[in-house]
Homo-oligomer: A and B are copies of this chain.
Amino acid sequence: MKELEERILKDGKVYAGDVLKVDGFLNHQMDVGLFRRMGEEWRRLFPQEVTKILTIEASGIGIACLAAQVFGVPALFAKKSRTKNIAGSVYTAQVESYTHGGVYTILVSKEYLTRDDKVLIIDDFLANGNALLGLLSLVEQAGAEPVGAGVAIEKAYQPGGARVRQTGLRVEALAKIKAMSPDSGITF
């Protein structure tokens, strides 16, 4: 998506340690006009029936809500918990975090994800793929149909894209970064 790539070039900053700072418009301060147009792009890419948008707190919520507005369906966000044993009424998955270290549990209530749902997964970043695979696991536990995954930015030089796509899930990234470094900048 041209607009997102241009915005990343304009406002994104690359730091050592494979860090892309886009918190001026994507995951701290949020440009909801851009989010709406991202939702419209995902709608174009996924024209089939979708009954629910699923994302993960916190930085997925904004883009998921604006996408949900375009699709005309509810958004649902998986909660993160450091508690490993959570009882009964929720589906859970373990997600390993490279950014923060350690493993956390993500969970959604069984009430809001059912075998009747056709689910589009939305997240801000795809790097190692762990968050998307965790969300996909929640969809599968519910017996719902995973329609696909829309991510804002894919670090295409990392293994996550291949890991997620080899499950058969269709993944559409609106900006795919081929390479980046503090010195040479960003290449799509």
Contacts and interface: CB of A to CB of B under 8 A. Distances in A.
A114 B173 CA distance: 33
A75 B112 contact: no
A111 B24 contact: yes
B62 A75 contact: yes
The secondary structure that dominates the A interface is mixed
Stoichiometry, as copies per complex, reads 2
Interface string A31-49: 1110110000000000000
Contact of A65 (B23, B32, B111): B32
Of the four ranges (under 10, 10 to 19, 20 to 34, 35 or more), the interface on chain A belongs to 20 to 34
A74 B25 CA distance: 8
Interface in A54-89: 57-58, 61-62, 65-66, 68-69, 72, 74-77, 79
A82 B24 CA distance: 23
A167 interface: no
A62 B62 CA distance: 6
Given A61-B61, A62-B61, A65-B35, A30 B74 contact: yes
Nearest to A73: B32
Nearest to A63: B65
Interface of A: 23-25, 28-33, 35-36, 57-58, 61-62, 65-66, 68-69, 72, 74-77, 79, 108-109, 111-112
